Amino acid sequence: MARMTLTLLHTAEAHRATFDALRDGIAPDVTLHHILRPDFLSRAQEAMTEDLISEIKKEIHKHPTPVLCTCTTIGPIAESAGALRIDAPMMQVAADSGGPVLMVYCLDSTRAPSLALLTRALHCTANPHPIHALPLLSLWPLFAADNHDDFARAIARETRIYIAQHPDITAIVLAQVSMAGAARYLTDLAQPVLTSPEPALRAALARL
């Protein structure tokens, strides 16, 4: 029997290892086909032009297998082309938490798509609650320089400070896949700390 294949569209090389490790623990019989397009993110940060939108859609459409887009910034365009957005399953869990949600993000271009997706998920619940947005834009250079542990620890530190001041928060969303490592430094919090890689991979595998 041929191995099933799932295609992942990344804008950062670091995400390849993240999803390979998850696959090994969840579905080792599935092949992950990684597409790396860092230019999609850099160009989207300048302007989401019609040419870029068309190129993203063409990249997704040319793969016969389901596609998981791991970039939050281009997520809406990828979704419109039939791909699964990395943060969609996570946002639904946050919306179901029953109270205010803290959305932490480190890249300005992710703010609008993340807020729109979380708002959409909340509006599907019976009693939508407020969203708190915590921008940590000054930390992004740590990730860009491959200082991933320093990046994770700094996110955790700032998140912990915010939660201490807003104890009514019922769920914490680490909006970008690159931020997932911060969760291991926040395990003592009362609120669930939600990250996108594992729920997204499980949802994508369900499409196979």
Cβ atoms < 10 Å from Cβ of 78:
25
- 5-85+199-206 against 88-195: fold identical: yes
Cβ atoms < 10 Å from Cβ of 160:
15
Pairwise CA distance, residues 164 & 159, whole Å? 9
| CB-count burial class (<10 Å; 0-12, 13-18, 19+) for 19 | buried
Question: Residue 67 corresponds to which tokens in the numbers above?
Answer: 């596609």
Pairwise CA distance, residues 109 & 95, whole Å? 22
Tell me if the domain spanning 5-85+199-206 has CATH number 3.40.640: no
3-state SS, 28-52, equals CCCEEEEEECHHHHHHHHHCCCHHH
Q: What are the boundaries of each domain within the chain?
A: 5-85+199-206, 88-195
Torsion 146-148-149-154 (CA) sign: positive
- CATH number for the region 88-195 comes to 3.40.50
Pairwise CA distance, residues 71 & 102, whole Å? 20
pTM, to two decimals: 0.92
**pLDDT per residue of the chain (208 residues) written in tens, 0 to 9:** 457 899 999 999 999 999 999 999 999 999 999 999 999 999 999 999 999 999 999 999 999 889 999 999 999 999 999 999 999 999 999 999 999 999 999 999 999 999 999 999 998 887 778 999 999 999 999 999 999 999 999 999 999 999 999 999 999 999 999 999 999 999 999 999 999 999 999 999 998 8
